[in-house]
Amino acid sequence: MEKTFLPLEHRVFKMISEIAEERNLECYVIGGYVRDLLLRRPSKDIDIVVVGSGIKMARMLARKMGGKVPVSVFKNFGTAMLHFDDLEIEFVGARKESYSRESRKPAVEDGTLLEDLDRRDFTINALAISLNRENYGELMDPFNGVRDLENKVIRTPLDPDITYSDDPLRMMRAIRFATQLDFGIEEMSLKAIAKNSSRLAIVSMERITDELNKIILSERPSMGFIYLEETGLLQYVLPELENLKGVDVRDRLGHKDNFSHTLQVLDNVAEKSGDLWLRWAAILHDIAKPVTKKYMEGHGWTFHSHEFAGSKMVPDIFRRMHLPMGRSMKYVQKLVKLHLRPIALVEEEVTDSAVRRLLFEAGDDVDNLMMLCEADVTSKNDSKVKRFLANFRKVRNKLKEIEEKDAVRNFQPPITGEVIMKAFSIGPGREVGIIKNAIKEAILEGTIRNNYDQAYGFMLKKAEELGLLEKKDQQGNT
């Protein structure tokens, strides 16, 4: 069979090759870098396998670079890493592995290149390029990974049932690679994933979520979620999304399949934005529909207040999945809570007051909220979609007009609690809160402009209603 040689242009490969020749070591570039080279995809991560000690090779390379490049050593894993130019280079000794049923952490022994390749998750990652002088650049492909790249297929080097049972995270990785590369998953692999789906329970949620986020950030993330659902993994990853599946029919009235709808919304958002958290908002925007679903005689199916119920579910989902609980969670929660507000503006007359309130509540996230709402229009009726999107454009124009005129995005009322207390010689209390809230409402309703003078005048009127001016006069006469 004719041998294939691939170009390795970066000078670091020649440096490693020279060390390997001097020390009589076998060295190979392996895995993802080789795959991406064949796919003509840019890659900054290089994995080097040494038949011997990867840590020693990393240190020898650092010395060859002049000793100024720090080496990070991970003794527990037998690996070492260094950064050179814009590359991240990881070194490991060739090894073979064996697994126990209770853990995805293998027992590791030194091994040959072939033993190292056959422990790899997929054939497209079980590729290596020699860095040895006698066959520098030669491609090693013992499991026909190049053929699977050409056919766009995810396949395991060994029996998929064993591969996925040994390390269940590989099931998530199979779906992640298929989604990222727009590949299919080989039939035996799909069946093995379905058979071993419950094994995902031994994998940490952090690792599962890491793979899930990579699926979500793919060009067409719905593909990954369809695989997760079809193989039974979704119930272990995000059961709330699984619960959106299905259509109930009563009196010949049905509702749409909210699972399919959510995936369409996610893909619509993905076409416009690479923001992970905006995509999470798309995934969770209807998450409470199953718990708010009711059938009303003569009206049909309703999901009243699902946006509020959904926003309350967001923190628990983030906590369980080890997603960040700070600003990112609050952002998703806000968008879930507000996602029907622009739609309501579309369906009703767009009043200045309603637009001010939306600007105030959405703040700097109003543009992303509008993007989510536009993505939420998934009707098969083209004229309905065009009408909704045209109305959304009107809402966008109104948002811009009101913001330029009234500056209410993220606004703080110009009259503070301190100003109120000083004006009426009172301490903190109920009256201060009432006046502050009244000023905010007056600005949002358009009763007064968002400036100090009008707010101060309104404060005096409100204080008079509360009897504060009379109290102040009495205090002054005492």
Q: How many Cβ atoms sit within 10 Å of the Cβ of residue 77?
A: 12
Asked if 89 and 215 sit in the same domain, the reply is: no
* Residue 457 vs residues 50, 376, 406, 448, 453: alpha-carbon distances, Å: 78, 43, 18, 9, 6
Question: Mean pLDDT throughout 449-458?
Answer: 86
Phi/psi at 457 (5° precision):
-65, -40
**Would the pLDDT of 106 be above 60?**
no
Question: Mean pLDDT throughout 97-120?
Answer: 69
* Residue 405 vs residues 161, 345, 355, 356, 398: alpha-carbon distances, Å: 64, 19, 12, 10, 11
3-state secondary structure of 168: coil
Asked if 82 and 159 sit in the same domain, the reply is: no
Asked if 184 and 91 sit in the same domain, the reply is: no
Kindly report the CATH number assigned to the domain that includes residue 144.
3.30.460.10
| pLDDT given at position 108 | 58
Q: Are the beta carbons of 301 and 293 closer than 8 angstroms? A: yes
Convert the pLDDT of each residue in 351-381 to its tens digit: 778 888 888 888 889 999 999 999 998 877 7
* Residue 13 vs residues 27, 281, 344: alpha-carbon distances, Å: 10, 43, 60
Of 151, 171, 205, which closes a domain?
151
| Residue 216: both structure tokens together | 């979500």
| Residue 422: both structure tokens together | 């000083």
| CB burial of residue 434 (10 Å; 0-12, 13-18, 19+) | middle
Between CA 453 and CA 142 the distance in angstroms is 79
Percent of the chain having pLDDT more than 70?
Answer: 90
Convert the pLDDT of each residue in 112-158 to its tens digit: 788 888 888 999 999 999 999 999 999 999 999 999 999 999 999 99
Convert the pLDDT of each residue in 252-303 to its tens digit: 666 678 999 999 999 999 999 999 999 999 999 999 999 998 887 777 778 8
List of residues 6+ apart from 18 with CB closer than 8 A:
64
60 in any annotated domain: yes
Among 238, 140, 134, 151, smallest CA distance to 187 is for 151
| pLDDT given at position 232 | 97
| pLDDT given at position 33 | 94
Asked if 45 and 126 sit in the same domain, the reply is: yes
Query: Where does the pLDDT of residue 107 fall: very low under 50, low under 70, confident under 90, or very high at 90 and above?
Result: low
Phi/psi at 434 (5° precision):
-60, -45
**Would the pLDDT of 87 be above 80?**
yes
Query: Where does the pLDDT of residue 205 fall: very low under 50, low under 70, confident under 90, or very high at 90 and above?
Result: very high
Query: Where does the pLDDT of residue 16 fall: very low under 50, low under 70, confident under 90, or very high at 90 and above?
Result: very high
Query: Where does the pLDDT of residue 69 fall: very low under 50, low under 70, confident under 90, or very high at 90 and above?
Result: confident
Residue type, 346: V
Asked if 16 and 130 sit in the same domain, the reply is: yes
Between CA 406 and CA 111 the distance in angstroms is 70
**Would the pLDDT of 30 be above 60?**
yes
| pLDDT given at position 290 | 92
Asked if 89 and 190 sit in the same domain, the reply is: no
| pLDDT given at position 98 | 57
Asked if 78 and 187 sit in the same domain, the reply is: no
| Residue that wins the pLDDT comparison between 166 and 220 | 220
List of residues 6+ apart from 231 with CB closer than 8 A:
171, 175, 190, 193, 194, 197
Of 237, 258, 285, which closes a domain?
237
| pLDDT given at position 443 | 83
Question: What does pTM read for this prediction?
Answer: 0.85
213 in any annotated domain: yes
**Would the pLDDT of 36 be above 70?**
yes
Asked if 51 and 175 sit in the same domain, the reply is: no
Asked if 106 and 195 sit in the same domain, the reply is: no
| pLDDT given at position 156 | 96
Of 237, 269, 301, which closes a domain?
237
| pLDDT given at position 402 | 78
- In sign, the C-alpha dihedral spanning 238, 240, 244, 249 is positive
Helix 366-375, helix 276-284: angle, nearest 10: 50
Asked if 156 and 120 sit in the same domain, the reply is: no
H helical segments located in 197-347? 205-216, 222-231, 234-237, 239-242, 258-272, 276-284, 289-292, 306-320, 327-338, 341-347
Query: Where does the pLDDT of residue 251 fall: very low under 50, low under 70, confident under 90, or very high at 90 and above?
Result: low
Range of the domain at 95: 11-151
Q: How many structural domains compose the chain?
A: 3
Q: How many Cβ atoms sit within 10 Å of the Cβ of residue 347?
A: 11
Asked if 201 and 130 sit in the same domain, the reply is: no
Among 106, 104, 65, smallest CA distance to 83 is for 65
| pLDDT given at position 100 | 56
